[in-house]
Chain A
């Protein structure tokens, strides 16, 4: 570049123009003989810009970016979760990886037999056939993402289990058996929701009912003697095991709760995102009574929680409660209710009114 054209180009530059000039940046961060020569030439051609250039250069050299580093445990946990997810894909033919997973598969086979037994004692005798089954389950305080053979995603909440067949053949309904709570994000096979052909349905069975869908996002919470279903999007049909209740077609935003003891059915509107907030490790129940929250924590973390002051159990607590850990949840709750947390033994936690002096 000739001296005049250099002068012409850079004479009107401001500091910020130098800062954002890519060639200028390159010179500052990774100087070469060429760039060094070029910018010396610029300073020579437009000496009035010397200060701006030097400032801009110093600025760029003084900028760094904050570093965010995950812990080794986080990295490992993430890999394990991903590893589980890709195993679902490995159950479909993927020749190269077959050999490596034999031991894992045997594990699944063992698990599958156990599932078969459990299910036989339940209502699902018919599923015990030659088809191999896979189980995905979570312990207390644990969450997991599972990819089903058709690509549908399941977020499994703590202390929950899904069972499904390893091979999902085209033309057969996709079936999943659930104990606990899960959020399903189902892949469409057919976009035409008004004409569901046999074999295109996606069925989720719980003790009390069966949800059949084409492709949608919904949350099922089956705990103790109660099953709740919340639909986020799409369209689903509920069919009740009792045979006494008529089928229900659900609309997005609806909540259906079925109580096994009272055989009672409640339909109401809700915010599906709130219902599924456990995915973000937040608990948002609808106008939750303290007692509901404690039951939820018991279901998900496997500890017995006793509230000494029974009057407090019926109080309503508003706002989300963080459930990333039992300690966090209890801390929030005990602060709101002004109680102490007493760990009576490894499995029992007592909430006692704080002594006011």
Chain B
């Protein structure tokens, strides 16, 4: 348990909870916008994740890394909602891949034009997952282990299994394995 705030929440401390909620709201809003511009879906996902968190607040003591728990839950719920939404609105199959969008990658203007073009090309060789891994690892400061499992969860069956699988995480998940 590396987050004392979680301890407060388990005790039903609303002040601490409010702070945690707002902090993660900002982070997830930013993260979620990389997948969709539909802020309603992002909002609903955040609400769902936190309602679930609140409802289990008395059973949170087994959560090893609150940060990871929240990120993985949020990603799972958001992708699910985007799929449902697309199915209803566009009648698309649920198989459609929803990825971290390349359009949110910003290339520094400090590079000369030739380098910028080369870089744009190089970025296109990266998959959404690879970009997302960079985002989570170096911008959201998650550990390799956490990033590895977060990006794996779309394969894993359910959100609830997710929470439990936290404990069962294998020690040596090689980060690059999911990059290839």
B33: chain A residues at CB < 8 Å are 66, 68
Does chain B have a CB within 8 A of A69?
Answer: yes
A147: chain B residues at CB < 8 Å are 51
* Minimum CB–CB distance for B119 against chain A, Å: 5
Taking CB atoms and an 8 Å cut-off, the chain A residues in 52-90 that contact chain B are 55-56, 58-70, 74-76, 78-79, 81-83, 85-86, 89
* Minimum CB–CB distance for B55 against chain A, Å: 6
Contact B26 A70 (CB under 8 A): yes
* Minimum CB–CB distance for B10 against chain A, Å: 8
A64: chain B residues at CB < 8 Å are 105-106, 108
Q: Mark A88-110, 1 if CB is under 8 A from B, else 0.
A: 01000011110010000000000
A273: chain B residues at CB < 8 Å are 88-89
* Minimum CB–CB distance for A244 against chain B, Å: 36
Q: How many residues belonging to A are interface residues under a CB distance threshold of 8 Å?
A: 47
* Minimum CB–CB distance for B159 against chain A, Å: 15
Q: Mark B25-53, 1 if CB is under 8 A from A, else 0.
A: 11001100110000110010011001100
Contact A20 B179 (CB under 8 A): yes
Binds A, one of B63-71, B72-80, B134-142, B164-172: B134-142
Does chain A have a CB within 8 A of B59?
Answer: no
B50: chain A residues at CB < 8 Å are 82
Q: In whole angstroms, what is the CA distance A55 to B111 when docked?
A: 11
CB contact between A78 and one of B43, B108, B139 (< 8 Å): that residue: B43
Taking CB atoms and an 8 Å cut-off, the chain B residues in 1-42 that contact chain A are 10-12, 14, 18, 21-22, 25-26, 29-30, 33-34, 39-40
Contact B125 A19 (CB under 8 A): yes
B175: chain A residues at CB < 8 Å are 22
A62: chain B residues at CB < 8 Å are 107-108, 110-111, 115, 119
Contact B106 A65 (CB under 8 A): yes
Q: In whole angstroms, what is the CA distance A85 to B176 when docked?
A: 41
Q: Mark A1-39, 1 if CB is under 8 A from B, else 0.
A: 000000000000001100111110100011000000000
B residues touching A (Cβ–Cβ < 8 Å)?
Answer: 10-12, 14, 18, 21-22, 25-26, 29-30, 33-34, 39-40, 43, 46-47, 50-51, 54-55, 88-89, 104-108, 110-111, 115, 118-119, 122-123, 125-126, 130, 133-135, 137-139, 144, 174-176, 179-180
| A-B pairs with lowest CB-CB distance, top 4 | A96-B12, A97-B12, A68-B33, A62-B108
What are 21 A-B contacts with C-beta separation under 8 Å? A15-B122, A16-B122, A20-B180, A23-B176, A25-B137, A25-B138, A55-B115, A55-B118, A58-B119, A59-B118, A59-B119, A63-B106, A67-B30, A68-B29, A68-B34, A79-B25, A85-B51, A89-B54, A96-B10, A100-B14, A279-B40
